[in-house]
Chain A
Amino acid sequence: MSVDNTVAEAGRPRLIRADRTRRRNAAETRFRIYGVVAIVISLAALVFLVLSILSNGLGAFSQTFIAFDVYLDPAVIDKNGNRNPEEMKKVTTIGYGNLLKKALAADLEARGVSTEGIPPKEVDGLLSKDAPAQLRDKVLADPGLVGQTIRFETYANGRIDGYFKGRVTMESARLDSNVSPEQLELADRMRAAGIVSVRFNWGFLFGPDASELRPEAAGLGIAIIGSAYMMMIVLVLALPIGVAASIYLEEFARQNAFTDVIEVNIANLAAVPSIVFGILGLALFINFLGLPQSAPIVGGLVLTLMTLPTIIIATRASLKAVPPSIREAALGVGASKMQTVFHHVLPLAMPGILTGTIIGLAQALGETAPLLLIGMVAFVRDFPGPPPEGFFDPAAALPVQVYNWTQRADPAFVERASGAIIVLLVFLLSMNIIAIILRRRFERRW
């Protein structure tokens, strides 16, 4: 460059100028290449991320089921014979487990599926540990079933499920202390006989979490409800507070040192790491106000605090984007300041406000760190009640469920964690798409 300048200053003719143009053009081409390379790198990272999640997680949506006939022996599950659910509750899942064990062996024999050389405990091991509880719930809900033979369908053990999905192989089973190659061969025979099938599993989306002994039964139901409750709380609290604050700051407040301080603080709050809000939530809502641990109400309040700055900044930006001529026209025909804002400015700013709110909500939905501190990492098996009481019952949240499952020892949970990521991504994607549609449809250009 400097060489060029000295040459130009020396008043040399155009030939040199052409050289300079060539350099400028080359610089521009280089810059374009940098841009393309940057896009290619980020796209490659995105594709790698999505592909690895999909390849790990899609398996979580299907599950291996075993269906067989069970004779509900009254001698085992209803000793008194009066079909009273209160008395039948005395029979625990252990009793039902023994019933299932006998029923499976009998069913296999009746269908001519050979179990030779496999100890009865291993045959029984094909069934999920969740099966006795499922059967018990079914019988207690409908005591009339006692004494009948019903067709009972339940999950297969996680390792068997892994075998049909390719996660478990004969080689790994030989080394694995939890499954034997003979069990896998038996599972193959049972599949040929139509007892075992692999299909879509609604239980993954709607069922509760399960312990490490039964990864096949673990579901996202409570996490989805917990996240939905928190989003409701965030929406109901953050939107009105955020909009009110921004209208006041933007339209009514006088510009002085005090409002400047507030403005700087709001901008700062938006950049505060989310874990800080978790610490605040623990100290304020749980220790001081005495709200329950692990409850969506606390999670919702913490996420509200976190989302407020985002909403305020977005709202103020869209209020600012409404041209002053609108306000002047309204004031000119005799509208009060408040009428101007609520009848004219706010409706025009609404698309921007809604977009900002949805993006804020999407951020809050994916937030994990503050929830870890307020006990939402807990293992929760009971569904929370309907709102508003349900806001105070323990629940989980989607991103935290992912975190939780990646820490479990059983490899089947890796697949379920990726499946949970897919569900979370679908929610985030649809929220962002709604935001884009809103912006496209209602955006006004001046």
Chain B
Amino acid sequence: MKTKLVTGLAAVAFATTAFSGAAVARDQIQIKGSSTVLPYAQIVAEAFGENFDFPTPVVEGGGSGAGRKALCEGVGENTIDIADSSSRIKQSDIDNCMANGIDKIMEVRIGYDGIVFASDINGPSFAFTPADWYNAIAAKVVKDGKLVDNPNKSWHDVNPDLPDQAILAFIPGTKHGTREVFDVKVIEAGCADSGAEEALKAAGMEEGGCLKLRTDGVSVDIDGDYTETLSRLDANKDAIGVFGLSFYENNTDKLQVATMSGITPSTESIASGEYPVSRPLFFYVKMAHLGVIPGLREYINFFVSDDMAGPDGPLAAYGLVSDPKLADTQKMVEDEVPMGPLM
């Protein structure tokens, strides 16, 4: 009796393992990548599943780099179809794709995202310039014409117009696409504006010397997502956090936003290009999967349609800055134009 039970169980176990060997045809789209693009991709996937006869696409986060790496793993049902990315694809990714037999990728720009600097709603308000940020958190700054280790303790030391509040900044960790934009548009720009770049060059700095931040605990890298930054900010009311515009727009009851170079971040000021700290968001489609994975073609067309990515669509309602050249993108997706070499 017991023997039968045991042999029976073993047989079931064997059958399950044997069955698992047979690959199953995939009928849903698989997407992976940037956690900034993730909520937009989820919103589109949800609406796509509701309105089309295809299954709802499966969307995963994990970061822009991880998504592009997974996209370039190869062609076949076992690999993903679309990589979401909050920064542009790199030549190394393209080389990797080529090496794995993926020669055609479509680059789709879905819109723009702003990066905002926000503090506790009950604290003082801030008006920053990139130079303020550089002088606050960089390792070496120019003081009285000399290059010194950063001595600034309060925002008031950095710029007399800023409130006398201790400097404490929560910035995205280096694995985030947001950090790249922060580095380029804020720190590097501030480095040049404040004259530190010239001083560093005169002192014989190597490449990327501007990006060295101070390590005395004043600037804290957040490797988690914006919810972690928000809870850190909640515990440290004096801190300034770096967020995506859409995250801020969903938490306007807790956060107040700072201006950058005199411009308040909003979908309008980002669309017009006035607000300096913004970036385009992309997704990359493996073109070999078009027509193989059911619904892929329909999904990418649906994503860039006016109903979704347009200025009155749900993505804009969530915080995406609609692309003024969306019509060009729609045409490109319709005609299935692969991306050319990187410029």
A175 at the interface (CB under 8 A from B): yes
> What separation, in Å, do the CA atoms of A129 and B313 have in the docked complex?
12
Q: Which of B53-61, B147-155, B204-212, B284-292 contacts A (4 or more CB under 8 A)?
A: B53-61
Binds B, one of A56-64, A291-299, A318-326: A291-299
List, in ascending order, chain A residues with CB within 8 A of B32's CB.
Answer: 375
Query: In the complex, A237→B18 CA distance in Å?
Result: 12
Binary contact readout A118-137 vs B (1 if CB under 8 angstroms, 0 otherwise): 00000000000100010011
Q: Is there an interface contact between A375 and B60, defined as CB atoms closer than 8 Å?
A: yes
Q: At the interface with chain B, which of A1-9, A42-50, A106-114, A407-415?
A: A407-415
Cβ contact within 8 Å between B2 and A346? yes
Q: Is B318 at the interface (CB under 8 A from chain A)?
A: yes
**Are A409 and B49 CB-contacts (below 8 A) given A176-B253, A378-B58?**
no
Total A residues in contact with B, Cβ cutoff 8 Å: 58
CB nearest neighbor in A for B73: A287
Which of A92, A212, A244, A290 has most chain B Cβ within 10 Å?
Answer: A212
A275 interface hit (Cβ, 8 Å): no
Within 8 A of B (CB), among A160-193: 172-173, 175-178
Stretch at the interface among A73-81, A254-262, A379-387, A432-440: A379-387
Does A146 touch B at the CB level, under 8 Å?
no
If the complex has contacts A243-B6, A388-B19, A407-B227, are A211 and B43 also in contact, measured as CB distance less than 8 A?
Answer: yes
Q: Does B99 contact A (CB under 8 A)?
A: no
Residues in B with CB closer than 8 Å to A381 are 45-46, 49, 56
Q: Do the beta carbons of B318 and A213 come within 8 Å of each other?
A: yes
Chain A 190-219, CB within 8 Å of chain B: the 1/0 string? 000000000000000000001111100000
Partner-binding segment picked from B85-93, B188-196, B243-251, B272-280 = B243-251
Cβ A175 vs Cβ B253 within 8 A: yes
- Given A175-B252, A407-B35, check contact A382 B227 (CB 8 Å): no
Decide: A289 and B43 in contact? CB cutoff 8 A.
Answer: no
Contact A89–B6 (Cβ < 8 Å): no
B95 at the interface (CB under 8 A from A): no
B227 x A244 contact (CB < 8 A): no
User: Does B50 have its Cβ within 8 Å of any Cβ on chain A?
Assistant: yes
Known: A378-B58, A379-B59, A410-B250. A92 touches B307 (CB 8 A): yes
Q: Which of A129, A133, A136 contacts B314 (CB 8 A)?
A: A129
What does the 1/0 interface line of A364-382 toward B look like (CB < 8 Å)? Answer: 0000000000010111111
Q: Mark B residues whose CB is within 8 Å of A.
A: 2-3, 6, 9-10, 12-13, 16-17, 19-21, 23-24, 26, 28, 30, 32, 35, 38-39, 41-43, 45-47, 49-51, 53, 55-56, 58-62, 77-78, 80, 121, 225-227, 246-247, 249-253, 307, 314, 317-318
Given A375-B60, A407-B225, list of 17 further CB < 8 A pairs?
Answer: A93-B51, A133-B50, A175-B252, A213-B317, A214-B46, A244-B6, A290-B78, A294-B30, A379-B42, A379-B59, A380-B56, A381-B56, A388-B19, A392-B24, A409-B226, A409-B251, A410-B250
